[in-house]
């Protein structure tokens, strides 16, 4: 008894632990005393089992590099102004350069020294004269550009995660794939279109002054002054749903950006019963907002999100305190989504949706039903075969197979792994592997019995001789599962997780659990012939 007490104890511990972890999945309402450290999460179901949306998005990383150059150009312009250095223009040139146009060589030397100190990572190209001006170009090298691209993908991943968390999707999968792709899985989502719009919005918020000196009604993108741009204010008629566009010419340079926000909340206007988004700036933003509104009383201030004007109110008075509001032709849902994207921050670069697969919940239920039916039929056939061919020993193998499934489901629940349709296929495959291991053992035992050994000696020899074969086959299968997990995505990973856990558990049940049943039986009951 002493030789297998620890094995029986271990099996009982695993059975109890598996039942405890599976209870939340099997019981609709947990009893009131089920609290504290007891598990409360059900087995997570994958996208293919409960429905939802699978997205593959590409971060347009080159835009992030261009955005960085725009910021550098703005910062250089501010620095030149603050140091009273004369210049004509500072602007981004192409996808990897910033050009400074200066009036004389003396200023160029000073600017060169300043730029070298401020932006050592930028490569300064030789200064050249053109049209009576001195031009200086700064280029971002490939290594630095790649660093900025990698950072943009990482920031986009974090921003998308924040947006989805605030949107309220449970158990989403958000992960990076390759250099610039992001995979998002939203299981159980009911409004995929709204979620996609929320995730894909760049949400770059800018406050820009409206240039009233230009007639926006007759202006075109090519006719506006160099420092201006032509944008449109869109309004939706709540009664008819008709969308109207009003052109406005605004300054290219943003006075304040969304990076200075600390909060954004949906509010309802008490006078017009219309939703709007109330925003709060940090201390820097509050100070800037105060200065800008004080200096531009009587002018229009456009609130621009992703190059669309939401509203362009007239500044009636200086606004202190760091609070403002964004109003427009919002529905409550639009205003709530806008508040979410502003709170989560803007994407460092636009994202493009490459793949959009939506799985309906009915298809998921159908998959579960068919998967369970296939598993049940497979298990019944195997149980029947083992019972008929190996008699009582076959029933021991069947018990080991049931333990396999119980332990695997308990492990999936305990580890918080996600069960997918391929995961169910892996469980069915596990049933076959479990039986295969026992068939190997039983055939070795039969050989030993034919040599005239006693049941106990034949049992020990059978397990010993089958051990290496079973171990070899399981280790090679485990390596395959590890490769699938490393390089696979989505459902393939789910298959690899279920398969890996199943292989490890099957080693335990086929080599330990079934052996201990035989040992306990043969020690207590004297048998002359083993039923096998």
Bridge partners, 184 (sequence order): 55, 174
Q: CA-to-CA distance for 332 and 82, rounded, in angstroms?
A: 44
* pLDDT beyond 90 at 13: yes
* Per-residue pLDDT at 182: 92
Could you give the percent of the chain with pLDDT greater than 70? 96
Instruction: Say if residue 36's pLDDT is above 60.
Output: yes
Query: What is residue 521's predicted lDDT score, i.e. its pLDDT?
Result: 82
Q: Determine the pLDDT at residue 245.
A: 86
Rounded to 10°, the helix 2-26/361-415 angle is 140
Residue 88 has what pLDDT?
85
Q: What is the model's pLDDT at position 231?
A: 92
In tens, the pLDDT along 163-186 reads: 888 887 766 888 888 888 998 888
Nearest of 301, 329, 331, 340 to residue 201 by alpha carbon: 340
pLDDT for res 70:
82
**What burial class does residue 224 get, using C-beta atoms within 10 Å of its C-beta: 0-12 exposed, 13-18 middle, 19+ buried?**
middle
Residue 190: predicted pLDDT: 76
**Terminal alpha carbon distance of the chain:** 23
**Would you state the pLDDT for residue 285?**
85
Phi, psi of 203, rounded to the nearest 5 degrees: 65, 45
Residue 135 parent element (H or E): strand 133-140
- Give the pLDDT of residue 532: 76
**How would you class 99 by CB atoms within 10 Å of its CB: exposed for 0-12, middle for 13-18, buried for 19 or more?**
middle
Average pLDDT value over all residues in the chain: 84
Structure confidence by residue, pLDDT tens digits, 202-255: 888 888 999 988 888 888 888 888 888 999 988 777 667 777 888 999 998 888
Residue 2 pLDDT greater than 60, yes or no: no
**Of 20-29, 41-50, 364-373, minimum mean pLDDT range:** 364-373
What is the pLDDT at residue 17? 92
pTM exceeding 0.75 = no
Q: Is the pLDDT of residue 1 over 60?
A: no
In the structure, what pLDDT confidence band is assigned to residue 199 with cuts at 50, 70 and 90?
A: confident
Token duo for residue 329: 């032709």
pLDDT score, position 364? 60
Given the DSSP bridges, would you call strands 418-419 and 44-45 parallel, antiparallel or unpaired?
parallel
pLDDT tens track for 72-110: 888 888 888 888 888 888 888 877 888 888 888 888 888
Classify the phi-psi angles of 298: left when phi > 0, otherwise alpha if psi is within -120 to 50, otherwise beta. left
Q: Please give the pLDDT value at position 361.
A: 62
- The H or E element containing residue 175 is strand 173-177
SS3 121: coil
- The confidence score (pLDDT) of residue 30 equals 82
For residue 66, what are the contacts with CB-CB under 8 A and spacing of at least 6? 92, 95
User: At a CB cut-off of 8 Å and minimum separation 6, what does 13 contact?
Assistant: none
Query: Over 70: is that where the pLDDT of 362 sits?
Result: no
User: What is the rounded average pLDDT of the residues 447-456?
Assistant: 85
Residue 392 pLDDT greater than 60, yes or no: yes
Contacts 24+ apart (CB under 8 A), 36-44: 39/413, 39/414, 41/413, 41/416, 42/413, 43/409, 43/412, 43/413, 43/417, 43/419, 44/171, 44/416, 44/417, 44/418, 44/419
For residue 285, is it left (φ>0), alpha (ψ between -120 and 50) or beta? alpha
């Amino acid at each position: 008894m002493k030789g297998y007490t620890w094995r029986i104890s271990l099996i009982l511990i695993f059975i109890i632990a598996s039942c405890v972890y599976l209870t939340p999945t099997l019981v609709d309402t947990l009893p009131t005393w089920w609290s504290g450290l007891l598990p409360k999460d059900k087995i997570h179901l994958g996208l293919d089992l409960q429905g939802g949306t699978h997205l593959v998005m590409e971060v347009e990383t080159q835009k992030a590099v261009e955005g960085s150059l725009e910021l550098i150009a703005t910062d250089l312009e501010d620095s030149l102004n603050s140091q009273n250095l004369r210049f004509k223009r500072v602007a981004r040139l192409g996808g990897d350069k910033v050009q400074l146009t200066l009036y004389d060589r003396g200023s160029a030397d000073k600017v060169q020294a300043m730029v070298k100190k401020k932006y050592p990572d930028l490569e300064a190209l030789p200064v050249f004269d053109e049209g009576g001006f001195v031009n200086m170009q700064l280029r971002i090298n490939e290594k630095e550009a790649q660093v900025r691209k990698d950072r943009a993908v990482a920031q986009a991943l974090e921003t998308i995660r924040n947006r989805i968390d605030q949107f309220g999707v449970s158990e989403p999968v958000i992960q990076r794939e390759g250099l610039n792709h992001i995979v998002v899985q939203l299981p159980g989502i009911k409004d995929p279109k709204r979620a996609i719009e929320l995730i894909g919005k760049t949400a770059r918020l800018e406050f820009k002054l409206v240039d009233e000196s230009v007639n926006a009604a007759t202006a075109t993108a090519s006719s506006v002054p160099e420092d201006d741009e032509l944008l449109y204010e869109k309004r939706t008629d709540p009664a008819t749903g008709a969308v109207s566009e009003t052109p406005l010419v605004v300054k290219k340079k943003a006075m304040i950006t969304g990076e200075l926000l600390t909060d954004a909340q949906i509010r309802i206007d008490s006078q017009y019963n219309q939703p709007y988004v109330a925003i709060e700036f940090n201390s820097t933003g509050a100070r800037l907002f105060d200065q800008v509104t004080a200096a531009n009383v009587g002018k229009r201030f456009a609130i621009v999100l992703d190059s669309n004007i939401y509203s362009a109110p007239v500044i009636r008075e200086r606004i202190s305190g760091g609070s403002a509001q964004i109003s427009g032709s919002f529905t409550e849902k639009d205003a709530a989504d806008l508040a979410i994207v502003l709170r989560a921050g803007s994407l460092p670069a636009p994202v493009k949706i490459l793949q959009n697969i939506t799985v309906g919940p009915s298809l998921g239920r159908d998959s579960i039903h068919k998967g369970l039916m296939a598993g049940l039929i497979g298990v019944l056939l195997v149980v029947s075969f083992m019972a008929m061919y190996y008699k009582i020993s076959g029933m021991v193998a069947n018990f080991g197979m049931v333990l396999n499934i119980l332990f695997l489901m308990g492990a999936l629940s305990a580890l918080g792994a996600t069960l997918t349709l391929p995961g169910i296929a892996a469980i069915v495959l596990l049933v076959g592997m479990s039986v295969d291991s026992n068939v190997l053992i039983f055939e070795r035992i039969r050989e030993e019995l034919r040599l005239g050994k006693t049941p106990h000696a034949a049992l020990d020899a059978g397990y010993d001789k089958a051990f290496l074969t079973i171990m070899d086959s399981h280790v090679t299968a485990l390596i395959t599962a590890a490769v699938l997990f490393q390089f696979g995505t989505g459902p393939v990973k789910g298959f690899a997780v279920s398969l890996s856990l199943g292989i490890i558990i099957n080693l335990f049940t086929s080599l330990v659990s079934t052996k201990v049943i035989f040992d306990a039986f043969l020690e207590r009951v004297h048998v002359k012939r083993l039923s096998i």
